Structure 1
Amino acid sequence: MEAEKKQKAPKKNRWKGLQAEFKKVIWPDKQTLVKQTVAVVSITAVVGVLIAVIDSGILQLLNLLIK
Structure 2
Amino acid sequence: MGNSAEKKAKAGPSFFTGVKAEFKKIVWPDRQSTLKQSVAVVAISVVLGVIIALLDYVAKTGVNFITSI
TM-score by length of 1: 0.74
2:14 is the alignment partner of 1:36: no
Unaligned runs of 5+ in 2: none
CA distance in 2, matches of 1:35, 1:51: 24
CA distance in 2, matches of 1:61, 1:19: 58
- TM-superposed deviation, 1:11: 4.4
- TM-superposed deviation, 1:23: 1.5
Number of equivalenced pairs: 63
**Other-structure match for 2:62:** 61
Identity of aligned residues (%): 40
**Other-structure match for 2:50:** 49
Distance change in 2, residues 1:25/1:59 (3 Å):
same
